[in-house]
Structure 1
Amino acid sequence: MKQEVRSSSRPVPWNRSEPRAIPLHEAKDFRVEEGVLEDEDRGTSLDGEPHVTAANGELIEPGRALALTDFTPPEIGTGERLIRLAYRIGVPGSMLVSPMGKKAKLRLLATVTSPLPGNRVSGTALRAGHFLIHGAKTPIAQVDYAGAARVTPPLERVVHGFSWLADLEASAPRAQVTPIAERILNTWLNANPKPPTRPGKGPAWTVGNTGMRLLNWLVHAPLILSGDKPLRSRALRAMNETARWLDRNVHHAEDGLAELGGWAAIVAAGLLLPDGKPRRLYAEAGLIKALGELVGEDGGVLSRSPIAQMDAIALLVRLRACYRATRREPPKAVETMIGLLVPPLLALVHTDSALGNWQGGWAIEEDEVVTLVEASGVRTRPLRDVRQWGYQRVLAARTVLQFDAAPPPMPRHARFGCASTLAFEMSHAGQRLIVNCGGAAAAGGLVPVRLEQGLRATAAHSTLTLDDANSTAVLINGAIGVGVSEVDIERRTIESGGASATRLEASHNGYASRYGLTHRRILILRDDGTELRGEDLLLPSSRKAKRGKVGFAIRFHLGPDVEVGLSENGQGAGLALPDGSYWQFIASGCDIALEDSLWVDGQGRPVATQQLVLQGLVSRGGGNFGWLLKKMG
C-alpha cells in the first residue's frame, strides 16, 4: 500500500481491497505525557517516527512485513516442533510428555492473579440476584443457560463467556461470592453437560464464547474450585473437555477476534492443565497466526472497532498473566502485539478521557481505558494518523478532532460494521461538541435491539448522506455490504495570517454508482482549537454528470450536555456547554434544522440529544456546502 507523505499536496488512496500486513518492530523504553514524547534518547527511528514501547521493553517502530517465523520463540527446537506437529495431527498430549503415555491427575497447576478487575456494580447486582448489562437487569433464575430460548447478544456473551466472574470477584471478599459463582456454574453445567460435536450449536458453543469461558474459568479458578469436591471435579473435567473441543474446532471461529480468543484459551489450558506442553506449543503457533490475520500494520484490529481493540488487548493481557503464573515467558509476539495495539486505541480518546463512538462502540469511560492500558504495561502516546485503522486524530490545544478517513471493515472482519466514512467527532476541554450516536454493540441492554441497524447507519454519524441512503450497505448481524471501497486522504499543516492549522481532506466513492457523485470533506482545525472550518463537496464521479437533483443531509449530532438555539435567519446556531463556554455554528447555502438524536454513554445506555441538520436538494452535477464551528470569547 502506498504511504502518505504528510506534506504532500496530492491525496493518497485508501483501497478497501488492498492486503494489510503487520510490521516487525525492535525495541526500548520511553515515557509519555499528553501529546509529548519523552525518551532518554529521544526515541525516534531513522524516519523520525516516534517509538512505542511494550511492557517487556521491546521497541515498536515502522519496519518490514512480518512473517510467522519472526514470532517463533528462539527456544523452540526441532524436538518441540515435532511435538507440536504430532499434537496437531491428534496424538494425545499424555503420550507426548510421558514415555508410558500415562495421564497425569487432572488438577490446576497454578493460580492466576487476574490483571484486570471486573465491574463492581455488576458484581453487586449478581449478589442481589440478577445480571446487569448496559443498564438492563435480568434475573439469574430466568436465564435459559441451554440457549434454547435466545436472549440478547450482550447477555449471551456475559452468561456463556463467564465474564461475570471478574465482576463478582470485584464486588466482595471471595468467601462471600464463591457460593454464587458455584451456583451459577452448576446450573450452567446441568444445562450443558457435554460439548456438541460442532461449534455454533447454540450461543454457548460458538468459538468466541467458548474460548472466553475457558479462559475465565482458568483465570478465576479459585471462585469455582473452592467448594465441595464433586463440583470441583466436575468443573475440572469441564475445563479439560472444553480445551479438547477447542483443539478440534477453533478453526471454525465466527470471526478473527473469536479465533484469537479460542487460541488464547487453548494456550492457557496448555499452561495450567497437566500434560499441557504439546497443547501449548500447538496453540502458540495458532495464536501467532491469528494475531497476524486480526491486526493491521499500524496496530488497529481490522474490524476497526475500539471495542474489539480493547477485547484483543484484554485477551493478551490475561494470557500473559497465565504465563507469569507458571513462571514462563510468553512468546515475543504477545508482548510485541500488546505494544502495537495500545497506541491506536488511544487515538480515539477524547478530552474527557473517554472513547469516541465508532464502529458499534460507545463512549467507554476513562477508568476502564486507563485500567486496561496500565495492565498492558505499555507507555505511549496516541497515534494521530492511524492509516490502516483509518482514524485521523488532531490535538489542538484543548480540542480533539477524530475523523473516519477509511472504508468500513471488510465483511469478514465486521462485527458491528458502520457506514461512518468521513464522519467526525470533536471535543473541547472535557466537553463533547460533535459526536456519533454509537452503541450498536450495546444493543440488547437499555438500547433496544431493533435500533442496532439504525445506529450503524450513515445518518447516525456526523457526516453527509444522500437520499437517506447509507454510503455503505448495512446488513443484519453486524455485516457490511457494498458501498465505499476507496478513500483518498491528505493531511497537512497550513499557515495563514500568522496562525497555523491542520487540514484534512478526504473523499469516498460510496455514492458514485447510485448517484454519480463523490463526497469530499475538508476539515481545517486551528492549532489553538477554537475554530473548525468545514466544507462538504459533491463532485461528479464521471465526466458525464447525471441529470436531475437528489436530496442531501449533513448531520452534526451534538454532545449530551450541549444546549442549542437556532438563529432567527435559520443559518446559524448557538451551542452552550456546561462549563460556560459558548460556540457558534454557521452554515452557508442552506438552512439549519434542529432534530432529535441519541448518544450511547459510557455504560452503553441511550441518552437523548439533538442534532443540527443541513438539508436540501443538490444537482447531480454537484455542489458544495461550507460551515464553521467557532468558540466565542
Structure 2
Amino acid sequence: MSARDAAARDVVRKLAKGSLLSRLTGSRRQPLRLTAVPRDHVHGDRRAGDALLSGTFVCGPETLSLADLDFAAVGADGPVAEQLQGFSWLRDLAAAATREKGAKLAEAVVGRWLLAHGTRVDAAWRPELWGERILFWTAYAPYILSSTDSGYRSALLNTLARGARHLESNAERAPAGLKRVTAWAGAVAAALLVQGGVARVARAESGLGRALSSAQSDDGGLISRTPWEQALLVDRLGLLRSAYFAAKHTPPESFETAAAAALSALHGVILGDGGLSSWEGGNAGSSARLTAIVEGCGMRARPLRQPRGWGFHRLSALGTIVVMDAAPPPAAKTGSSGSASTLAFELSDGPQRLIVNCGGPGAGPTLMPPELVSALRTTAAHSTVTVADSNSTAILSDGTLGKGVTDVLIDRTEDNDSSRIEASHDGYSRSFGLTHRRSLVLGNDGKELRGIDELAPKGRRRSKDGTSFAIRFHLAHGIEPTITADGMGAILRSPSAPPWNFRSRGAAIGVEESLVVDGHGIPHRTMQLVINGEAAASGAEVHWQFRRSS
C-alpha cells in the first residue's frame, strides 16, 4: 500500500471513530451490516481488470492513474467520471483477481471515495450514481468489506445506508429513463440488503415500477431507442434480481415481466457477431461484454418479433440477420444522441458484418471532434435514402432533433419462402413532397436480401425539375467492394464470410469513402456503395439485391 493510501486509511479510521462519524451516520449506534450478498453472474473484462491491478483505470481511449487518483478532481460528470463513480469496474477487477488480491486495491479506492464524497452531499450523490454504486457495492462486498479495520468498515457501511436514504428521497429527481430506473433499482437493492431496510422495500418497488413504466415502451424497449442503454437496462435489472434472490425475496411479477421484455428487445438489435447494431449515436460495443450480460442476467427471452415503440425490426434466416429502424426518432427530451436514421438497416452473415451504419461514440469518451460526432447522426451516415443531401429528421444546432419523421407505417409478413418488411416515413413530405417507402425481403435460406426504395409523391409541394436522392449502403470495416464491368453491381469480399453480390436494377452504382466507429469508439476508414438518382414529379423507384455467392 502506498503512503498516500495509508494516510487515506488513517483519515477514514478517524471518520469512523471521531466526531465526524455523526456526519456519516447521524448517530453513534452500532455500524450496520449487509443481511445478504448478491452474486453477480456477469463475468467482467479480465483485460480491464489486469489494467486495474497494474494501476490504470481504462475507459475507452482515456486512462487514469490509480496511484494519483483524486475523486474530487475527477468529479462526477462525463463518461470516465461516471464509470469510475458507479463502481461497475469492480466486476472487471473480480474477473482478474482473487478476493484477497483484489480487495487491497478495491478498498484503497473506496477509501479515497469516502474521503472525497463521504461527508457531504455533492455531485457524486446524484441518484443514478448512487443507484449504480449500491448495486455494485453490495454485489462485490467481499472485495470492499474484507478489511479487518473496523473503522473503515463502519464508515463504508454507514455511508452506504446514508446513500440509500438519500435515494429514497431523491430517486424520482433522476432524469426519466435509464437513470431513474437505475436510481430506484439501487433503492430497492438497499432496502433488501442493508440491515433495517426491509420496511422500505414496498416504497422503493413502487418507485421502480413507475420508473420502468415511463422508461419502457409496451414492447420492453427504452423510449430513448438506444441499444447501448438497453444493454445497461438489462444489466441493472439482472443485478437487482440477484439482490432479490440473495435476500430470499420473490421479485414482483410486474418486475419480472418488464425485465424479460427488456431482454427480448435487446436481442432484437444484436447482430451475428454478438455485438449491437449501431443506432442513435452508438456502436457495436464489446460482443464479449454483451454476451456476458445476456447470459448472466438470469433471464431468458426470444428476440422481439413485433416491436412497437422500440421500432427495430429483426429478420433472420440461417445465420443471416437484418435489423431495420422502422420508427420515428426518439423525442428530443429522451437524449441528445438521437439520429435521423429512419428506414436504415444493417446486415450480417454469421459473425461477419456486411452493411452497417457509421455509428458513433455511444456512452464512452471519444477523441473525435464534435463536428464529426454530429455528422455521424445524419441520414447520410446511415444505410438508407437521403433526399437532396437533407436529413429525414432535422438535427438542430444545439444537438436536439427538430421536424421530420412523425409517422412510420409498417407491414410485416412471413411465409414459407421469405420474411418481408414494408415501411414508409413522412420525413421528406414537408420539404420535398415525397414519401420514402422501403421494402426488405429476406429469403428463408438466408442467401438473398431483396430491396425496393421508392420515393412517392405526397401533397402539393413537388419539384418540376426533379429532386436528387442517394441510396447509401455503408460497408463494414474490412469489406472490399469490386464494381462489376457493367457498373450495375458489386462483389463484396470479407474476411469471415463468402462473397456477396450486389445488383441494382436500372441505376448505376458508385463507391465512395466512408467510416465506421468500432466497439471501442474508434473510427475506421471504409467504403460505401451509393446509388445516385433523381426523382421526377411522379417519384422514383429503385430495386436492388444482395445475394451470397455460395
Map of 1:531 onto structure 2: 448
Cα displacement (A) at 1:104? 6.5
Structure 2 contact 80–364 (Cα < 8 Å) conserved? no
Q: Distance in 1 between matches of 2:459 and 2:370?
A: 40
Q: Distance in 1 between matches of 2:396 and 2:202?
A: 39
Map of 1:211 onto structure 2: 131
Q: Distance in 1 between matches of 2:414 and 2:491?
A: 29
Cα displacement (A) at 1:387? 2.7
Aligned partner of 2:93 among 168, 188, 209: 168
Structure 1 residues 476 and 324: CA distance shift in structure 2, 3 A:
farther
Cα displacement (A) at 1:426? 1.0
Structure 1 residues 165 and 493: CA distance shift in structure 2, 3 A:
closer
Map of 1:116 onto structure 2: 42
Map of 2:22 onto structure 1: none
Cα displacement (A) at 1:276? 0.8
Map of 1:324 onto structure 2: 245
Structure 1 residues 303 and 530: CA distance shift in structure 2, 3 A:
same
| TM-score under structure 1 length normalisation | 0.77
* Match status 1:377 vs 2:294: no
Structure 1 residues 104 and 155: CA distance shift in structure 2, 3 A:
same
Q: Distance in 1 between matches of 2:402 and 2:83?
A: 28
Cα displacement (A) at 1:259? 0.6
* 1:402-481 → structure 2 map (5 Å cutoff): 402-414=323-335, 416-445=337-366, 451-474=372-395, 479-481=400-402
Tell me how many residue pairs correspond in the alignment. 524
Q: Distance in 1 between matches of 2:298 and 2:482?
A: 46
Structure 1 residues 516 and 220: CA distance shift in structure 2, 3 A:
same
Structure 1 contact 516–620 (Cα < 8 Å) conserved? no
Map of 1:265 onto structure 2: 186
Map of 1:238 onto structure 2: 159
* Match status 1:134 vs 2:60: yes
Q: Distance in 1 between matches of 2:130 and 2:370?
A: 23
Map of 2:471 onto structure 1: 554
Structure 1 residues 536 and 279: CA distance shift in structure 2, 3 A:
same
Structure 2 contact 385–471 (Cα < 8 Å) conserved? yes
Map of 1:247 onto structure 2: 168
* Match status 1:613 vs 2:530: yes
Structure 1 contact 133–445 (Cα < 8 Å) conserved? no
Structure 2 contact 435–456 (Cα < 8 Å) conserved? yes
Map of 1:502 onto structure 2: 419
Cα displacement (A) at 1:230? 2.7
- Higher helix fraction (1 or 2): 2
After superposition, the C-alpha distances for 1:567-593 in whole angstroms (9 at most, x for unaligned) are 344332211122462222222444333
Which residue type is aligned with residue 428 of structure 1?
D
* Match status 1:595 vs 2:507: no
Map of 1:487 onto structure 2: 408
Map of 2:211 onto structure 1: 290
Cα displacement (A) at 1:556? 0.5
Range 341-350 or range 600-609, more displaced: 600-609
Structure 1 contact 545–620 (Cα < 8 Å) conserved? yes
Map of 1:577 onto structure 2: 494
Structure 2 contact 432–461 (Cα < 8 Å) conserved? no
Q: Distance in 2 between matches of 1:183 and 1:479?
A: 41
Structure 1 residues 173 and 493: CA distance shift in structure 2, 3 A:
closer
Q: Distance in 1 between matches of 2:74 and 2:496?
A: 50
Aligned partner of 2:289 among 359, 368, 386: 368
Cα displacement (A) at 1:226? 2.1
Structure 1 residues 183 and 277: CA distance shift in structure 2, 3 A:
same
Q: Distance in 1 between matches of 2:69 and 2:535?
A: 52
Cα displacement (A) at 1:447? 5.4
Structure 1 residues 149 and 311: CA distance shift in structure 2, 3 A:
closer
Cα displacement (A) at 1:307? 1.5
Map of 2:80 onto structure 1: 155
After superposition, the C-alpha distances for 1:54-106 in whole angstroms (9 at most, x for unaligned) are xxxxxxxxxxxxxxxxxxxxxxxxxxxxxxxxxxxxxxxx9xxxxxx996642
Q: Distance in 1 between matches of 2:196 and 2:445?
A: 61
Cα displacement (A) at 1:323? 1.9
Cα displacement (A) at 1:620? 5.5
Range 103-112 or range 518-527, more displaced: 103-112
Q: Gapped runs of 5+ residues in structure 2?
A: 1-24
Which residue type is aligned with residue 189 of structure 1?
L
Map of 2:114 onto structure 1: 189
Cα displacement (A) at 1:548? 3.8
After superposition, the C-alpha distances for 1:118-155 in whole angstroms (9 at most, x for unaligned) are 2111111111222212344333356662367787x321
Which residue type is aligned with residue 113 of structure 2?
W
Which residue type is aligned with residue 394 of structure 1?
L
Which residue type is aligned with residue 536 of structure 1?
D
Aligned partner of 1:224 among 129, 138, 144: 144
Which residue type is aligned with residue 155 of structure 1?
V
Give secondary structure in 2 for the equivalent of 1:412. Answer: helix
Q: Distance in 2 between matches of 1:181 and 1:558?
A: 43
Cα displacement (A) at 1:108? 2.2
Give secondary structure in 2 for the equivalent of 1:218. Answer: helix
* Match status 1:311 vs 2:232: yes
Q: Distance in 2 between matches of 1:120 and 1:411?
A: 37
Q: Distance in 1 between matches of 2:497 and 2:384?
A: 27
Structure 1 residues 138 and 466: CA distance shift in structure 2, 3 A:
farther
Map of 1:276 onto structure 2: 197
Structure 2 contact 345–384 (Cα < 8 Å) conserved? yes
Q: Distance in 2 between matches of 1:453 and 1:401?
A: 25
Q: Distance in 2 between matches of 1:104 and 1:284?
A: 28
| TM-score under structure 2 length normalisation | 0.87
Structure 1 residues 450 and 349: CA distance shift in structure 2, 3 A:
same
Which residue type is aligned with residue 87 of structure 2?
F
Structure 1 residues 470 and 238: CA distance shift in structure 2, 3 A:
farther
Structure 1 residues 150 and 541: CA distance shift in structure 2, 3 A:
farther
Q: Distance in 2 between matches of 1:210 and 1:483?
A: 37
Cα displacement (A) at 1:396? 2.3
Which residue type is aligned with residue 192 of structure 1?
H
Which residue type is aligned with residue 225 of structure 2?
R
Give secondary structure in 2 for the equivalent of 1:146. Answer: helix
Which residue type is aligned with residue 71 of structure 2?
Y
Structure 1 contact 365–602 (Cα < 8 Å) conserved? yes
Map of 1:341 onto structure 2: 262
Structure 1 contact 154–445 (Cα < 8 Å) conserved? no
Structure 1 residues 271 and 150: CA distance shift in structure 2, 3 A:
closer
After superposition, the C-alpha distances for 1:509-562 in whole angstroms (9 at most, x for unaligned) are 112222222111112222222222222111222045344444322210112231
Q: Distance in 2 between matches of 1:303 and 1:206?
A: 20
Range 455-464 or range 565-574, more displaced: 565-574
Structure 1 contact 537–623 (Cα < 8 Å) conserved? yes
Q: Distance in 1 between matches of 2:300 and 2:278?
A: 24
